[in-house]
Amino acid sequence: MSEALEIARAALAGETAWLVGGAVRDRLIGRDTDDVDLAIPGDPKRAAKAIAKASGATAFQLSGAFGAWRVVAPGHAWHVDLVTLLDDDILADLAKRDFTINAMAEPLGGGALVDPHGGREDLARRVVRMVSERALEEDPLRSLRAVRIAVELELEIDGETGLAAARHAAGVARVAWERVFAELKRVVSAEAVRRGLTIMETYGLTEIVLPELTALRGIEQSRFHHADVYNHTLEVLDCVALLQRDPVAAGLDAGVAALLAQPLSDELTRGDALRWAALLHDAAKPATRGFHGGRVTFMGHDAAGAQLARDVLGRLKASTKLRDYVAAVTLHHLDAGFLVHERPLDRRTVWRYLRATQPYSADTTIFTVADRLATRGDNAEPAIEAHLEVARELLAAAREEDTAGPTSPLVRGDELIREAGVPAGRQLGTILAQLEEDRYAGAIATREEAIARAQELAR
Backbone angles phi, psi at 69, to 5 degrees: -125, 155
CA distance 401 to 405: 6
Give the residue-averaged pLDDT of 76-88: 88
Q: Which residues of 162-200 are buried (b: 16+ CB within 10 A; e: fewer)?
A: bebbebbbebbeebebebbbbbbbbbbbbebbeebbebb
Give 64's pLDDT tier (boundaries 50, 70, 90).
low
Three-state DSSP class for 259?
Answer: helix
Question: Could you give phi then psi for residue 443, rounded to 5 degrees?
Answer: -80, -30
* 448 close to 420: Cβ distance less than 8 angstroms: no
Q: Would the pLDDT of 340 be above 60?
A: yes
- Give yes or no for residue 245 having a pLDDT over 90: yes
Q: What average pLDDT does the segment 52-81 reach? A: 85
pLDDT of residue 447: 94
407 CB neighbour count, 10 Å cutoff: 10
CA torsion through residues 192, 198, 200, 202, sign: negative
Q: How would residue 77 be classed by pLDDT, with cut points 50, 70 and 90?
A: confident
Q: Each residue of 1-51: pLDDT tens digit? A: 588 888 889 989 888 999 998 889 988 988 877 788 999 998 899 999 999
Three-state SS annotation for 412-431:
CHHHHHHHHCCCCCHHHHHH
Instruction: Provide the pLDDT confidence category of residue 224 given band limits of 50, 70 and 90.
Output: confident
What pLDDT does residue 311 have?
A: 97
- In the predicted structure, residue 349 carries a pLDDT above the cut 90: yes
Q: How many CB atoms lie under 10 A from the CB of residue 18?
A: 24
* pLDDT value of position 188: 98
Residue 354 has pLDDT above 60, yes or no: yes
Mean pLDDT of the chain: 93
What amino acid is encoded at 197 in this protein? L
Q: For residues 169 and 174, what is the distance between their CA atoms, to the nearest angstrom?
A: 10
- Lowest mean pLDDT segment, chosen from 9-13, 134-138, 269-273, 443-447: 9-13
Give the strand pairing for 35-40 and 79-84.
parallel
pLDDT at 33: 78
* 249: pLDDT strictly greater than 70: yes
Question: What per-residue confidence (pLDDT) applies to 38?
Answer: 94
Amino acid at residue number 448: E
Q: Output the CA–CA distances (angstroms, integers) from residue 402 to 172, 396, 398, 444, in the order listed.
A: 42, 10, 6, 22
Going by the DSSP 8-state scheme, the letter that residue 204 receives in this structure is T
Left, alpha or beta for 378 (phi > 0: left; psi -120 to 50: alpha)?
beta
Q: How far apart are CA 280 and CA 323, in angstroms?
A: 11
Confidence of residue 378 (pLDDT cuts 50, 70, 90): confident
pLDDT at 406 over 70: yes
| CATH value of 1-118 in 3.30.530.20, 3.30.460.10, 3.30.70.2190, 3.40.190.10 | 3.30.460.10
Quote the percentage of the chain above a pLDDT of 90.
78
The β-bridge partners of 291 are 296
Residue-level pLDDT at 105: 96
pLDDT band at 65 (very low <50, low <70, confident <90, very high): low
How many Å apart are CA 114 and CA 97, to the nearest integer?
Answer: 13
Q: Which of 122, 184, 100, 96 is nearest to 148 (CA)?
A: 184
As its CATH architecture, domain 126-209 has Orthogonal Bundle (1.10)
User: Are residues 308 and 401 in contact, defined by beta-carbon separation less than 8 angstroms?
Assistant: no
- How far is the C-alpha of 52 from the C-alpha of 61, rounded, in Å? 13
More confident residue, 113 or 426: 113
Task: Check residue 136 and give its pLDDT.
Answer: 95
Kindly report which listed range (104-118, 337-351, 381-395, 416-430) carries the lowest average pLDDT score. Answer: 416-430
* pLDDT tens by residue, 255-308: 999 999 999 999 999 999 999 999 999 999 999 998 887 788 889 999 999 999
Bridge partner list, 105: 20, 114
- Residue 29: in which H helix or E strand, if any? none
For position 63, what pLDDT does the model report? 65
Rounded (to 5) percent helix, strand, coil in the chain: 60, 10, 30
163-166 contacts: CB < 8 A, separation 24 or more?
Answer: 164/130, 164/133, 164/136, 165/136, 165/203, 165/205, 166/202, 166/203, 166/204
Return the H-helix or E-strand segment holding 304: helix 301-315
pLDDT recorded at residue 1:
55
pTM of the model: 0.92
With b for 16 or more beta-carbon neighbours within 10 A and e for fewer, the 307-328 pattern comes to ebbbebbeebebeeebbbbbbb
Interior/surface letters 378-399, b for 16+ CB within 10 angstroms, e for the rest: eeeeebbebbbebbebbbebbb
pLDDT by residue (tens digit) across 179-191?
999 999 999 999 9
